[in-house]
Structure 1
Amino acid sequence: MTKPLPPLFREKMIDLLGENEFEQFLTSYEDPRSFGLRVNTGKVDRDEFASQSPFHLEAVTWAAEGFYYEEGERPGKHPYYHAGLYYIQEPSAMAPVELLQVKPGERVLDLCAAPGGKSTQIAAKLQGEGVLVVNDIHSDRVKALVKNLELLGVRNAVVLNDKPERMLNVFGGYFDKILIDAPCSGEGMFRKEEEMMGQWERHSVQEFAAMQRELLAQAAVMLAPGGRIVYSTCTFSPEENEAQIAEFLDKHSDFAVVPIEGFAPGRPDWLREPWCDSNAYSSKAKAAVAGTARLWPHRLRGEGHYVAVLGKGAGTGASANASDVAADFVAAAEKRGGRPAPRGKGRAVAAPSTGVSLEPLEAFSGELLRSEPFALGRLVCYGEHAYASPAGLPELHGLKVVRPGWYIGALHRGRFEPSHALAMGLRLREAKRALSLASSDERALRYLKGETLEVAESEILRDPQETQAAKGYCLVCIDDHPVGWGKWLDGMLKNEYPPGWRWT
């Protein structure tokens, strides 16, 4: 690290850790960074990938699909990255989703989702079953979120770009699991991104604490009885960590901390002046935060995280009626000067189209797909765009919806144009026509650069029962993993790889 730590941060950490442990903490900033990737088990088996990986990998002990890779290796510049076989992720950031304990078929919310690292981790654990709702209030960050979900082939995600208070009436008591990877002062990012130190000096901890307090209260309304919230930050500040959990527990008697093992414990002794009001929390709540966890950079190979697991008692119900709580949040926002758009207005997706013929899509599906990976009964069309919406999703009218499900493609002037998201969400076995290039084949890289390829008809993998010529759309794969579409005709493959995705 080239820049010195902010003096106020140093003073605070010395007070919290003590001189001896602070020296260990400080020394960690001079250690080499740990780099990690997480295998996308929605596309490839973890052990299968580890056995064929072009990188030297070492397992991350707290994340089943997580690996360290060596500095100098460039997994973002390998065709497997473009096939969505892994996500490059800081190792300690993998812990919160592991502690969420997601199971296939559950309804899960990632409340502060962009750029999507933890969302894609949740999706892999759902294995295409259930519902994943991801939300981020920053419209500029949602683009990266959508791209990462599409890159990793997620089929059952709904992407929102809305204020959480506007979600409460729609999703009251709906979710089995909720992740709050909360906006924070980012003290754990100082080594990875030194510019964070400047942001830390410009923004107050209290500013983030106010946002975190609201997010926890809003999530409580949307969680079903018996469900689980995981709250995490990448900061060391007790005001944003133990204090948030202690205050939440005192206000929500139907919640309890689920103790975390294997990491350093939370610090109830840090709920004191000058950082926190020691009289603000009950002794029971203070004791409970010892069951939360701190991932310290001087105790493990990672940049650092704070994690708390909160279980909601079955049968106790939400702490307040969803409609009442929603109204309270709207009133509070208006008092601060930020007037949220009234329900049913704002930048919401238009109502589903009626009278749109699905015949071109059905024809495409019959010609190109061995099975129907999306149920036609759950297809919704917005204008000419078709989406496969997850089963069991409530009416989203009035919310700012970016993606109401898996984007299948466009129904345009009597023809169907398949989306890149459809290709990335498919498996080779689901396609009747495909081209699978070896990662060592120079044409694989040329395809990712957007070039037209020479491809013999004998190279096109086809359904044995197909008697028609190989011309038209085919699914392009690298080592049997889809990367996009191509159109084959007379020995040439026209490249359909999107310009914004191309290898540069």
Structure 2
Amino acid sequence: MAHFNQNFLDSIERELPDHLSMEDFIAYSNQPLRLSIRVNTLKISVTDFIELMTPKGWQFDPIPWCAEGFWVSNSVEIQLGNSIEHLQGLFYIQEASSMLPPTALFETASQCDIHADTRVLDMASAPGSKTTQIASLMENKGLLVANEYSASRVKVLHANIARMGVSNCALTHFDARVFGEYLFETFDAILLDAPCSGEGTIRKDPDALKNWDNNENKGIVATQKALIESAFLALKPGGSLVYSTCALSRQENQDVCHHLKSVFNDAVEFMPLSGLFPHADKACTEEGFLHVWPQIYDSEGFFVAKIHKLASVERQQEEPRKQKNFPFTPAKAKQVAELSEYFKATFNIDLPSDAQIMQRDLEFWLFPNAVQPLIGKMRFQRIGIKLADTLKKGYKVRHEAILALHSPTQIELTDEQAKAFLMGRDISLAEKVKPQGEVIVSYANNPLGVAKHLGNKLKNNLPRELVKDKIALYEL
């Protein structure tokens, strides 16, 4: 049961549109959220995922604003986060409303519009639901800069990016107010899912608003206004900015967008979202923003605004000095050839031709080409994916490279074998055959990781930090 205080209810009554009722708001806020997931099309098609999971008791109800999103029910009760399909990144457990901002960001873009030089910024990324959704919509093309201010959450963000097979991402760890200064008019599209009071999350956390205080929200609003200004400065003319929150109050939503308009005037255009999906107009404000109340779509509360930058604006500060001591250098042609041969001969993987292979000490990394002009302008925590380490003789592939790069050659494991592999165990083979060295082991035709084929068993090479104590299997 949700815990409302009277001040919060009074504020909602003032904010609630005339066509919605307080009774419905309270009733829906006291209901648990429907379980929703997003299929990761970087690894599996929606059709194939439904075919894979339907025999396991899953039922799918499409989410209108996300072609890859579904409310799901499951006749077989297991903990989804411990399922093989989740651990290998075939789907992300994501609240339906939070799928709206990336959909709005790419509303008018086709996959053909995303190219090697496209740059997108996600200003507040952790834990990674929207970041990985954006990467999927970009089909791993171009560059996605994912920023997270909280140091403890950067690690979680990277783990989710790696699990979902994202290869076009660069991670940063800053107060996002710096982007307008450091990367002025750099990005084709920006998502600012701003820190907020979290009023819309009450169905997930009944105690979220127990001590709600409107005066405390004023400090949040000041931060939101500074962040949206920074986002607009970092956006290219002609680019699109999506501002979103899980707050319900006008002051954290519409008022922040109007503040941006007051600062940059005619350079700011509000883009109507009434046609984003069927019945989107039910949640639209007079400006064309989406103000989603829990009772409209039986979801979390959410706000989404799309803003178009019509013209260049004046830079607020001088360009910062270039940063030095970048630890990577382009790999030499001989090393690139050797690495390419290693990946092809061992795993039947063709390294992408439109990316840059970089070296740091004995490590080799795959960088998105679009990051090169940004190097020196800002410090990056991590760029692209780590491909391999150099050994005395040859190379040793990294787990994240296997998850992100596609190979048609894999050893398919059974349910029980896949469970054992994710629990860090070796896999015995029914017959002793000629050893094959490093091989990719897979489940549902998607990689789980690398094993060493010794002839009579598969020696587990799963990174220790990914080994799980418990894996949930569907008992059908």
TM-score band, normalised by shorter chain: 0.7 to 0.9
Q: Residue 442 of structure 1 corresponds to which residue in structure 2? A: 416
For 1:84, the equivalent position in structure 2 comes to 89
One-letter identity of the residue aligned with 1:498: P
Report 1:33-432 matches (<5 A). 33-53=33-53, 54=56, 55-70=58-73, 72=77, 74-101=79-106, 102=109, 103=111, 104-105=114-115, 106-168=118-180, 170-197=182-209, 200-201=212-213, 204-252=216-264, 253-261=266-274, 262-265=280-283, 267=285, 290-313=287-310, 316-317=311-312, 319-321=313-315, 323-324=317-318, 344=323, 350-353=326-329, 358=335, 361-375=339-353, 378-393=356-371, 394-397=373-376, 399-413=378-392, 415-429=394-408, 431=409
Amino acid at match of 1:374: P
The equivalent residue for 1:333 is none
- Gaps (5+ residues) in structure 1? 268-288, 328-341, 460-468
Query: Aligned partner of 2:413: which letter?
Result: L
Matched, 1:489 2:454: yes
Q: What is the RMSD of the two structures over their aligned residues, measured on CA atoms?
A: 2.7
What SS is found at the alignment partner of 1:33? coil
What residue is the counterpart of 2:474 in the other structure? none
In the TM superposition, residue 127 of structure 1 has moved relative to its aligned partner by: 1.0
Per the alignment, in what secondary structure is the counterpart of residue 372 of structure 1? coil
Opposite residue 268 of structure 2, the aligned amino acid is F
Q: Hey, what's the Cα distance between the residues in 2 that align with 1:300 and 1:184?
A: 21
Normalising by structure 1, report the TM-score.
0.82
Letter of the structure 1 residue corresponding to residue 223 of structure 2: M
Query: What is residue 16 of structure 2 aligned with on the other side?
Result: 17
Deviation of residue 190 (structure 1)?
A: 1.7
Distance 1:167 1:22, change over 3 A: same
Q: How big is the shift at 1:9?
A: 1.0
Name the CA distance, whole Å, in 2 between partners of 1:309 and 1:232: 9
Cα 1:164–1:343 shift into 2, 3 Å: farther
**Structure 1 stretch 258-267 or stretch 368-377: which is displaced more?**
368-377
Q: Does the Cα contact within 8 Å between 2:3 and 2:210 map onto a contact in 1? A: no
Provide the secondary structure at the position in 1 that maps to 2:387: strand
Name the amino acid aligned to 1:27: A
Are the counterparts in 1 of residues 3 and 209 from structure 2 also a CA contact under 8 Å?
no
Q: Please report how far the alpha carbon of residue 412 of structure 1 lies from its aligned counterpart in structure 2 after TM superposition.
A: 4.5
- The separation in 2 between residues aligned to 1:343 and 1:201, in whole angstroms, is 43
Distance 1:396 1:6, change over 3 A: farther
Tell whether the 8 Å contact from 1:428 to 1:480 is kept in structure 2 after alignment: no
**2:426 counterpart residue number:** 452
Q: For 1:17 and 1:6, how far apart are their aligned partners in 2?
A: 17
Q: Structure 1 residues 499, 197: closer, same or farther in 2, change over 3 A? A: farther
When normalised by structure 2's length, the TM-score is 0.86
Per-residue deviation at 1:369?
3.5
**2:170, 2:383 within 8 Å by CA — same for their partners in 1?**
yes
- CA deviation digits over 1:375-402, x for unaligned, max 9? 4971112333322111122232263322
Q: CA–CA distance in 2 between the matches of 1:77 and 1:377? A: 33
Q: 1:455 to 1:213 in 2, by over 3 A?
A: same
Aligned residues: 447
Query: Deviation digits for residues 152-186 of structure 1, max 9, x if unmatched?
Result: 10111111112334444553222111111111010
Instruction: Say if 2:31 and 2:203, in contact at 8 Å, map to a contact too.
Output: no
